[in-house]
Structure 1
């Protein structure tokens, strides 16, 4: 199993957290690179974990934790990055619970939103990818199986107020040269393409 903790599939869950921002106000653009969007009026931005050594950034997420569901794991991770005194996650939280947790960032008002109000706030979520992830740590007997969800904030969000105490988390404008691993970049491209073409409504599409 090499350096992986388990034989067989090692499960990972990640988030593509995105919003659209006018080009003139977008953050962390990549010099001399075109955006992936056809519409030049807006950039899609994603929230990433910056590498402390200046290497590739990464999507927010990580290995599924022992005794936790994948969705509870991602809820725990986002709450560790952006603490919330009211957050209490069931160890076996499901996809709907996870989507509800991420709704707290929709609009400038902090706090979970009702499912009926997701569309009003411009908040939606859907599954981008589920399956084998190519990784240099994979072996014949142990490998990564990954789920990646896109959480999109079409109108307003309150992430910026939460970022003040998080030097390792930042918005990056999506471009054809954004510094991500191939697997993460492919998921971002898929999310960007779907958002550009259809802008899915509230809820989860699988």
Structure 2
């Protein structure tokens, strides 16, 4: 059906299953476009700065979920999504995030450099919550914070201080709009992807997780609270290889990182 939208709530996230095809740009007039307005309870109060609050009203003879937003609210620069409001995001407009690619060179059990096809091999620090896939310690930045929560919970204060200094010379892989299922017409994610590389002489290079005796990283478990439930957050160093699911997801970014360090991919 043309211009069909369907929204599900899954684990407190808005998942857009159908978008408005061929009418994807806010610059294009689309008569009759009146998407449902949705903000999850877990999104909390509006943390936007200097933006008009959401005002909604029902359109006569329309369904109960059909609303219109005040025109002064910001509009997604990449066009219509089929959903108004904030969804699960904290702010109207851009919600700033960070994707930290924390790397080090892989070493063998005798501490010699691991090589493949004549190039050194990189490892990237990844995390996993129970029942989820391995991913980067990324996330939306809370007000006044330099790093995302997922990164802060796996690092102690001394290591975070080291990364604060390392950030000044970090490789900026990407900065801009993030294509994310949580984006709405009025709220979206903008991210910066940084490569924070630990040189071989970095005193904290083995402090995050220890190296195993079989050339692999020892997995570390960290207790965390997620929505009032105690969970174990797994952390380990993953070899940067094209076939690995984590590396496949961030393939374009990791290609830039490996090329920068002259490592194999």
- Please give the range of the TM-score, normalised by the shorter of the 2 chains: 0.5 to 0.7
CA 1:82 to 1:159, structure 2 compared with 1: closer, same or farther past 3 Å? farther
Q: Supply the distance in 2 between the matched residues of 1:5 and 1:181 (Cα, whole angstroms).
A: 29
Alpha-carbon distance between aligned partners in 1 of 2:140 and 2:152, rounded to the nearest angstrom? 16
Q: What 5-or-longer segments of structure 1 have no aligned partner?
A: 26-36, 89-96, 104-114, 116-123, 198-206
TM-score, normalization: structure 1? Answer: 0.60
**Structure having the larger proportion of residues in helix:** 1
Q: What is the aligned partner in structure 1 of residue 192 from structure 2?
A: 147
1:182 CA displacement: 6.5
Write the deviation string for residues 32-59 of structure 1: whole angstroms up to 9, x where unpaired.
xxxxx97444211101112421x43221
Task: After TM superposition, give the deviation of residue 145 of structure 1 in Å.
Answer: 0.1
- Structure 2 residue 261 is the aligned partner of structure 1 residue 190: no
Say if 1:179 and 1:132 are closer, same or farther in 2 by CA, change over 3 A: same
Structure 2 distance, partners of 1:51, 1:86, is: 22
> For residues 83 and 189 of structure 1, do their structure 2 counterparts lie closer, same or farther at Cα, with a shift above 3 Å needed?
same
How far has the Cα of 1:86 moved from its partner? 9.2
Which of 154, 173, 179 pairs up with 1:81? 154
> Against the structure 1 CA distance between its residues 147 and 43, is the aligned structure 2 distance closer, same or farther, given a 3 Å change threshold?
same
Aligned-pair distance for 1:169?
1.2
2:91–2:187 CA contact under 8 A, matched in 1: yes
Q: Which residue is equivalent to 1:108?
A: none
**Deviation of residue 98 (structure 1)?**
5.4
The answer (yes or no) to whether the contact 1:74–1:98 under 8 Å persists in 2 is: no
Give the 4+ runs in structure 1 shifted more than 3 A.
37-41, 75-80, 85-88, 181-185
Structure 2-normalised TM-score? 0.48
Of 74, 82, 90, 1:5 maps to 90
Residue 62 (str. 1) matches residue 146 (str. 2)? no
CA-CA distance at 1:152 after TM superposition? 1.2
Name the counterpart of 1:20.
105
State the alpha-carbon separation in 2 of the partners of residues 152 and 188 from structure 1.
12
- The equivalent residue for 1:112 is none
Count how many residue pairs are aligned between Structure 1 and Structure 2: 152
Higher relative contact order (CA 8 A, sep 6+): 1
Q: Which residue of 1 aligns with 2:206?
A: 160
What is the DSSP-based 3-state SS (H/G/I as helix, E as strand, rest coil) of the residue aligned with 1:163?
A: coil
Cα distance, 1:181–1:141 mapped onto 2, change above 3 Å: farther
Instruction: Show structure 2 runs of 5+ residues with no match.
Output: 1-85, 110-114, 211-218, 222-233
For residues 139 and 76 of structure 1, the distance between their equivalents in structure 2, rounded to whole angstroms, comes to 23
Q: Is the alpha carbon distance of 1:130 and 1:59 closer, same or farther for their aligned partners in structure 2, counting shifts above 3 Å?
A: same
Cα RMSD (Å) = 3.4
Contact 2:105 2:121 in 1 (8 A): yes
